[in-house]
Structures are given as C-alpha cells and as structure tokens.
C-alpha cells in the first residue's frame, strides 16, 4: 500500500468537504484524522518512526501548513485513543487535542461527559482541567463514575471549592467571603457543578419572633431542589450543623413545592472537620473547604 498517497487523499478530501459542506466540517475532521492516524500507525510498523517526519515534510511542501510532525503524531494518537473511547462529533478536534494530553482514561471520560452536558468550549475545558476539577471529586464519586452509576448532586460538588479573588482582597469574615462570591457568582455556580441557579443572598426567614438570614439560597434545576449555602471562615463547628439544618427544614416547610426534592445544605468552611461530619446524621448536609485563588 502507498501509505503516503492514501494519507494525502484523506487530507485533500477533508479540505474539499469543509469548503462545500459547512455543517459537516467537524465530523469530516474527526473521520479524516482517525483514518490518517490509522494509516500512520500502519506505516510506522513497516517503515519505522522516522516515516512521520518524511510525510510531514512532503505534506507541508505539497499541501501547505498544518501537517507538522506534532500534528501527525496527534492524529496517530487519536486513532489509538479511539480504540478505548467512543468518538463523539459533539466534540471538536480542538477538544480532542486537549483530551489527548491526559493520561487517565477515567479523567478523560469525566471531561467528555461534562463537555457534552454543559456544552463546554475548548477554553472552558482547559480551564476546568487546569483547576483540577476531576481530582477534587472524592474517591467514592470517582468509583460511581467509573461504574457508570447515577451520581447525586452531593457527589459532584468538588472539595475544595475554588473561589476567585481577582482583587487580592483579605478574607476575614463571612460577609467578605460572600461579597467575593457574589462578584463572580457565575464562576462560583459552575464550580459547584451543573444546574445551579442563584436565588438570593441574605435570604430572610422568620423563625418564631427572630429573623435569620441564609447566606446564599440556590436552586438546582437538574436535581430539582433548593440548596442552602452557609459560609464560614473558620474550621467547621458542631453548631454550624444545627444552624444549617434549621434553615434547610424551614425551606422545605415554607418554600419547597411537593414536586421538588428535599433541600440540600452546603457549609463552605475554611477547614473541614471530618470528626464532626462523622456524627452528622443528615446526609443532605455537606461540608466543603474553600480555596481562594
């Protein structure tokens, strides 16, 4: 077989397809790079690793830029990648180029899932990877994802929760932390996971003759439930559990509709206390540390 001729034809046909059929550009790219990767893999077995450099020089001379040694190796890597992952044309070649840098198949599967679910751009994907979103899931959640079991809202909230501090403000109080979150609420909601929407900060509730204020009240439309968020700039304390439980029960009694699931509570604190959480009987209450960057 003339591997070079076959590779060149694949690439030329792809360029023609992209000019004529705009709607199918991405699918054509992925199919072409898969086929080229397969041919490069076979050619390498016959002629050795050096054949990629020779093909790169010829393709660049005859077809122009874009066929560097690095790009051809990525196409070959994409072919190998496709043996263990289903290729989805909802992802672009640029998405796959980014995913090919990851060495953990479970991590790759996690990011493919959220790219599709949340329609992530390549820039957003790279930011999620940079922020180690997968690594911040707990081990039990990772096992669920590997086994393809259905994850709950609680499973997908990272630990620690990363909060951006673009102004390098000193955080000494819950009010200051709340203000920092509100300044970039969109980023904070995405950090929590998929489907979170902001309802109100300092949400006012009346318990007996006393008014109380929930730091952040959110709603998750994927899991159809309210989410009470309390902010603590100290280590988690046992009284924090009691406080948020009262707020959750209030929301369930006074705001939740019968069609909605029970309210979830998240205590975002400077330092977790696993001993306290061990004796917390309400599984709806989560304690997560925050990290300011």
Of all residues in the chain, what percent carry a pLDDT higher than 90? 88
pLDDT for 46 equals 93
| Partners of residue 229 on adjacent β-strands | 216, 266
- Distance (Å, whole) CA 166 – CA 32: 42
pLDDT score of 73 = 97
**Structure confidence at residue 23 (pLDDT):** 54
The pLDDT of residue 204 is: 98
What is the per-residue pLDDT across 155-168, written as a single tens digit (0 to 9) for each?
999 999 999 898 88
Numbered ranges of CATH 3.40.1350.10 in the chain:
152-292
Alpha-helical (H) ranges within the chain are 3-20, 25-47, 51-63, 69-82, 93-99, 105-118, 122-130, 139-146, 174-183, 185-192, 238-254, 274-278
- Which residues does residue 163 pair with via DSSP β-bridges, in sequence order? 292
pTM (global) more than 0.85: yes
**pLDDT attached to residue 116:** 94
Beta-bridge partners for 218:
198, 227
Contact between 243 and 210 (Cβ < 8 Å) = no
Write out pLDDT tens, residues 209-264. Answer: 999 999 999 999 999 999 999 999 999 999 999 999 999 999 999 999 999 999 99
| 152-292 placed in CATH 3.40.1350.10 | yes
User: pLDDT value at position 167?
Assistant: 81
Low-confidence ranges of the chain (pLDDT < 50): none
SS3 state of residue 289: strand
What's residue 21's pLDDT?
60
Phi and psi torsions of 38, nearest 5°? -65, -45
């Amino acid at each position: 077989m003339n591997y070079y001729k076959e590779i060149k034809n694949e690439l030329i046909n792809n360029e023609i397809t992209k000019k004529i059929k705009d709607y199918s550009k991405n699918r054509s790219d992925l199919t072409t790079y898969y086929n080229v990767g397969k041919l490069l893999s076979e050619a390498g077995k016959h002629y050795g690793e050096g054949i990629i450099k020779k093909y790169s020089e010829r393709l660049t001379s005859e077809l122009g830029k874009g066929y560097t040694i690095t790009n051809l190796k990525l196409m070959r890597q994409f072919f190998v990648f496709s043996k263990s992952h289903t290729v989805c044309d909802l992802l672009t070649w640029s998405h796959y180029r980014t995913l090919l840098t990851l060495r953990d198949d479970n991590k790759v599967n996690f990011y493919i899932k959220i790219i599709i679910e949340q329609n992530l751009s390549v820039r957003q994907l790279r930011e999620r990877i940079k922020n180690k979103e997968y690594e911040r899931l707990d081990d039990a959640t990772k096992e669920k994802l590997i086994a393809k079991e259905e994850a709950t809202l609680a499973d997908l909230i990272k630990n620690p929760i990363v909060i951006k501090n673009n102004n390098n403000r000193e955080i000494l109080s819950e009010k200051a932390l709340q203000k920092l979150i509100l300044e970039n609420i969109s980023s904070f909601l995405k950090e929590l996971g998929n489907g979170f929407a902001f309802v109100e900060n300092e949400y006012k509730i009346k318990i007996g003759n006393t008014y109380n204020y929930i730091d952040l009240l959110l709603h998750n439309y994927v899991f159809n439930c309210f989410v009470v968020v309390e902010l603590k700039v100290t280590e988690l304390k046992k009284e924090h559990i009691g406080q948020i439980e009262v707020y959750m029960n209030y929301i369930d009694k006074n705001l939740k509709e019968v069609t909605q699931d029970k309210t979830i509570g998240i205590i975002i604190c400077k330092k977790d206390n696993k001993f306290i959480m061990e004796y917390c009987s309400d599984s709806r209450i989560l304690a997560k540390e925050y990290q300011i960057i």
